[in-house]
Amino acid sequence: MKMQLGEIASAISAQNDTSAWNQIEVSSVAFDSRQLSKGALFVPLEGERDGHEFVKGALQNGAVATLWKADHGEAPAGLPVLVVDDPLTALQSLSRYYLLKINPKVVAITGSNGKTTTKDMVAAILATQFNVTKTMANFNNEIGVPVTILSMEPNTEVLVIEMGMDRPGQLDFLSRLVEPDVAIITMIGEAHIEFFGTRDKIADAKMEITHGLKADGTFIYDGDEPLLVERAKAISQRQQTFGRHETDDMYVLDVEATDTQTRFTTSAWPDQKMTVPMIGDYNVNNALAALSVARLYRISPQASAKAFTNLNLTENRAEWVNGHAGERILSDVYNSNPTAVKEVMAAFSKVATNGKRRVVLGDMLELGEQSDRLHAGLEEAFDPKSIQDVYLVGPHMKALYQALQDRFELSHLHLYETAEQAKLIAQLNEDIQSEDIVLIKGSHGIHLENVLAALQ
């Protein structure tokens, strides 16, 4: 991003204190005063703390200008200030202006599981032929999407945007903001069921990603999900499905999975073996969504296969790391829901080891009134012949702890409160041997990344 302050002021209809600052060049935007680069425009947002408190600090840290909410009184004197009705709305308007200015193709991705991995895969494949910008980390909401847009270099040809949601209307807004050329739904699960109540309503909310889809755009989705197949009938744009059946436009022919990679072939390119450097048969569907984009943009199967081999994945998504006792740890601590747990458990249970398989699970959040039932329902994923010790963290995991008592001896089950991480870490350090393998998974709000860091 490179824009002069005067252009920004015009784009967001801001009050500019003085035209003397119009020629100031802005090279980025930031809403965290501690993490900005020199040349940034600071956006003071109101959350647990009011971002206006940090304006002076932002300017000291290299920001060249700031937005200022009109109802916050006098802006700091002598500073380049753009006065707006609402900084968040201004940020979104600026991102829309910049998106139209750069005019890349836009691929938007959502789903209950797999959207981050699919984003990484799509970006890697498209980068073999185009200049690509993709969503950074988890910048996938009303703040993160505009920031991602504004991070584009002027030569960006394709923007790959991940879109998250936790309420109805959120994807409608984001989709209309970016107007995607391609909209992808990876799958429908139970994530955020606390806010929606049923999978049907989750599917309705996910379909909002098509609300801004260009008239000549393409909708790509899991063709084995009846909830999506039914709703897709109302979409007039071109459609492509992926999945495991011959009724899908792209389907899997065969899969070979190991603990570090998954190999498969597809109906589209039966002679080209694809290898994804990730554990889990479930990642094949994410790859199929990405390959559907490859075919749409006429990227060869050979180039796509090479892109998978060199895949740069967002961290903490089912990645192997080493523990200080010599054990191997499968880290999947960014997020969690019932479908995701069952899928990664199925893959982890098959990994060969001369030691024990140990599973550390944290609460799955945002499951609402169904939370205890859904936690207890994970019982079927645990086979005592494959999993030797289970460590559960959080109040809702008590339901799973009770369900597993019919399968495991109590000496192999461990239950901890969310605040008892130090106790958990001490127990793991005592139990783990060098040839063991350990799975650590939980919702980000449980902060099992702290347990992971302690074991490493």
Residues annotated within a binding site for ATP: 111-117
Binding annotation:
111-117
Give me the residues paired with residue 182 across strands: 107, 218
Report the C-alpha gap between 142 and 148 in whole angstroms: 11
The residues, ordered by sequence, that sit 6+ positions from 113 with a Cβ below 8 Å of its Cβ are 186, 187, 189, 191, 282, 337, 339, 340, 343
Integer CA distances (angstroms), 258 to 199, 317, 348, in order: 31, 17, 10
Report the C-alpha gap between 225 and 219 in whole angstroms: 14
Q: Are strands 437-441 and 28-30 parallel, antiparallel or unpaired?
A: unpaired
CB 250 within 8 A of CB 286: no
Name the maximum alpha-carbon separation found in the chain: 75
The residues, ordered by sequence, that sit 6+ positions from 379 with a Cβ below 8 Å of its Cβ are 400, 403, 404, 407
Report the C-alpha gap between 14 and 5 in whole angstroms: 10
